[in-house]
Structure formats: structure tokens, C-alpha cells
Amino acid sequence: MTYRLHNFFRSSTSTRLRAALNHKGLAYDYVPYVLRDGETRTPDYLAMNPQGLVPTLERDDGAFMMQSLAIIEWLDETHPEPPLLPADPDGRARVRALAYMIACEIHPLNNLRVLFRLRDQFGADEEAQKDWFTHWVTTTFDALETALASSDRTGTCCHGDTPTLADICLYAQVWNNRRFGIALDSWPTIARIYAGLDKLPAFAAAAPPEQPDAG
Amino acid sequence: MTYRLHNFFRSSTSTRLRAALNHKGLAYDYVPYVLRDGETRTPDYLAMNPQGLVPTLERDDGAFMMQSLAIIEWLDETHPEPPLLPADPDGRARVRALAYMIACEIHPLNNLRVLFRLRDQFGADEEAQKDWFTHWVTTTFDALETALASSDRTGTCCHGDTPTLADICLYAQVWNNRRFGIALDSWPTIARIYAGLDKLPAFAAAAPPEQPDAG
């Protein structure tokens, strides 16, 4: 199987999928899109992904996959080593819950189309958008810090000492936070885990500045 | 194992988990919270669930589980019959993608704390909140309708003829839409699937009006 990754360097969900592909040792062709220019709203793109969102993973059997977390679960099922979820159900539930704290409570509120909507419906300027963005990061990172710092299952990574789906979401979100200059000082466990992940080649190579379309 | 479900009748994520528990034939004690009164922001609740969100599933082994989709995956792993995900990886990826379209692109933007934030930060009145809510439902339901109507894997349910995680999210979201009176006329496939689900006792019993705390 070969892969084409339709994505955007700064997109947090694209960063997640790049880290997962790298972690599994899977090569892919990189196909960039400029979100601000509507390049994912064309008929051709919508035929691949009816939401008009990145990323889309195109497979050489003709399938187009959407929704980063669904694709990562599929990668973990079809390419089990190295794993991105623990083997035990309780561990899997913990890792998924940590991942969804970010994927369901921060990212959906802070992506580009939401910031555009705030501008269009409420006249939110850059400062108001930053307040909004920071509010949702802070609300969930406070809870995530508590969840991580209070559990003996937290290791050098979110769950033990090897990266999981939770680390993938954490790493991508910390990169996304830089858009509005949010520092990690209030969240020492998150900061420690992020710093460790950023030393792993699979993660570092997925970071936005490393991509061919980085401005 | 016995369960206590800490939840709120109108919460969409609570509806999801009730439907999943019912579908698996698992009984639970119902513990209601009034979100508007801050009952999930108390120290006791935050000790169970650091996000202060519903639902929380309490197990008799002392574990507290959070994030509805993580709990439902756990239920499916520990109580496999009847399944809530297909057996094949491609089917599982499709069901998860459909579920995440709702869980990552609609619900996070439209829950109560977000509507409160719109009111507090931008002065959004009920009408502006309705516009916001309706915008995100419409954006994703348009794409979901396309994804469902264009696939031969769609059956009486989102994927084949038995309920999956995607149906659980769809059913809960359609209930949530009623908060602002959103009709399903524009989305005939979603409407058809919803109507079928509403005839299943496991789903119908999970609906908000059926709960003990329904006002």
C-alpha cells in the first residue's frame, strides 16, 4: 500500500496524521492545500472528502479516508507495530479519553473555519479570536494537566513511556497553540511530555515548520 | 460489574452513552446533575472527572471513566455483543469517521458551555446562538448526508442494518438539534436512519424525555 496525504502544514489534524504515519514507518506523498484560498472546497476535493477538511488519506486501492482519529485507529489496526494504543482495555480507554479531551474539546473550537465564523458573525478581531482560542486551550489543558499529573500511569509520555494516540493529539495541539503564542508554563506535565515527544524523529518530522508548504 | 451513570437528560454525550449501555443490555443507576446550576463544577464531581463534564461512568471497582466515545469503545471491547463497530478495519474506519463528523465537528461547537461563552464574550442572544448552532449542524449534516447517501455500505443504519457508534452519535445529535427546532427535511437519509433508530427500544429509552430528570 502506498499513500498520498492531502493536507496543510499548519493544520493540527494534519500534524496528527503525519506523526502517526511516521511512527508506523509508512512513507507518503505530500499534497499541500492552502485552506485560506478555498483549495479544499473545490468539487475535486469534495469528491474525496465531503467535509472539505484536511487531512484526507488516499490509498492506492482507490479509497479516500477522512477524519484524522478514524484514520489513525485504522493505521493501528492494519499496521499494529509499533502500537499507538495500549493492549489492555482500561489503558485504551484512558488513552482515548486523553486524546478526545483535545480532539473533542479544544481543536473543534479553535480551527480556522471557527475563527472565520467568529469574525463574520460577531465581528471578532484578532484579539477577540485570541481570547476565544486561549480560553478553550486553558479550560482543557488545566483538566488535562490534572489528569496527567495525578495518575501513576503517566510516564515520559501520556501513558507509559511510549507514544500513543494521546501524545499525537497533545503534540499537535501544542504546535497549534503557537499560533497565538500560548506558553506551557502553567502546565508542567504537558510541557515535559511535549519536550520528550519533540525529540522523537517521527514527531519532530511531523511538525508544521518541517513541511514542504511551510511559509 | 455494576455501573452508576453521572449524567444529564438533555446532554447529547449522555444520550450517546445511555444508548450504548442499553444496546449492550447493561443496567445502570442514573445520577442526574443540573449543568446550569454548576453541579458538575463541585470539588466532588471534579475529583471524578477533572473536566467537570458529563457523562462520567462509575464502576464498582472504583474506576471513573470519562469522554463518551472512549467509554463506548471500552464497552465494545469488554462487552463485544452486540457489537457497535464492524469487524473489518475499513468498516470500522468508516463508522468512526461518520461518528467523528458529529462528535468532533458539531457537538463541541454547540454544547451549553460554548453557547454561554458566546453570550459572555460576544453578547450573543438566543437568536444569535441559534444561528451559530444551526450553522454548524447544517455544515456537517450536509456533508454527512452526502457521505451516507453516496455509499452502498449505508443500510437501514449508517453502516449496514445494525446500529453502530455512528448511529449513536447521529441519534443523540438529532435530539440535540430539537433544542433550536432544527428539522431534518434537508437530509432525507439522516431522517430515515433516525426514524429507524427511534423504533429500537435501546435508543428510544435513551432519549432525553424518557429520563428521570427530564423537566
Q: If you measure CA to CA, which chain A residue comes closest to B139? A: A51
Contact between B93 and A71 using a beta-carbon 8 Å cutoff? yes
pLDDT in tens, B74-101: 999 999 999 999 999 999 999 999 999 9
pLDDT at B65 (0 to 100): 98
Give how far Cα B146 sits from Cα of A51, A107, B36, B133, B210, Å.
9, 24, 36, 20, 31
DSSP helix/strand/coil, B181: coil
User: With bands split at pLDDT 50, 70 and 90, how would you rate the model's confidence at A1?
Assistant: confident
Task: Tell me how far apart the alpha carbons of residues B81 and B84 are, in angstroms, rounded to a whole number.
Answer: 8
Give yes or no for a contact between B144 and B190, defined as CB atoms under 8 angstroms apart: yes
Chain A hits for B100, Cβ within 8 Å: 67, 69-70
Q: Do A90 and B109 touch (CB under 8 A)?
A: no
Residue of chain B whose alpha carbon sits nearest to that of A77: B89
Taking CB atoms and an 8 Å cutoff, what residues of chain A touch B104? 67, 69, 103-104, 107-108
| CB-closest option in A92, A146, A147 to B73 | A92
Write down the CATH number for the domain with range B89-203: 1.20.1050.10
A152 interaction partners in chain B (CB closer than 8 Å): none
Question: What is the pLDDT, as a whole number, of residue B6?
Answer: 98
No. of helices (H) and no. of strands (E), chain A: 10, 4
User: What sign does the dihedral B175-A101-A3-A26 (CA atoms) show?
Assistant: negative
Interface contact flag, A97 B66, Cβ < 8 Å: yes
d(CA A192, CA B62): 29
Domain boundaries, chain B: 3-82, 89-203
Output the CATH code of domain A3-82. Answer: 3.40.30.10
- Min CA distance, A140 vs chain B (Å)? 7
pLDDT tens track for B23-54: 999 999 999 999 989 999 999 999 999 999 99
pLDDT digits (tens, 9 = 90+) for A143-199: 999 999 999 999 999 999 999 999 999 999 999 999 999 999 999 999 999 999 999
Shortest Cα distance from B204 to chain A (angstroms)? 25
B67 and A118: CB-CB below 8 Å? no
Given strand A56-59, what is the order of strands in its sheet?
A: A29-32, A3-7, A56-59, A64-66
Nearest CB to A73 within list B52, B92, B109: B92
Q: How far apart are CA B172 and CA B99, in angstroms?
A: 11
| pLDDT at residue B25, as a whole number | 98
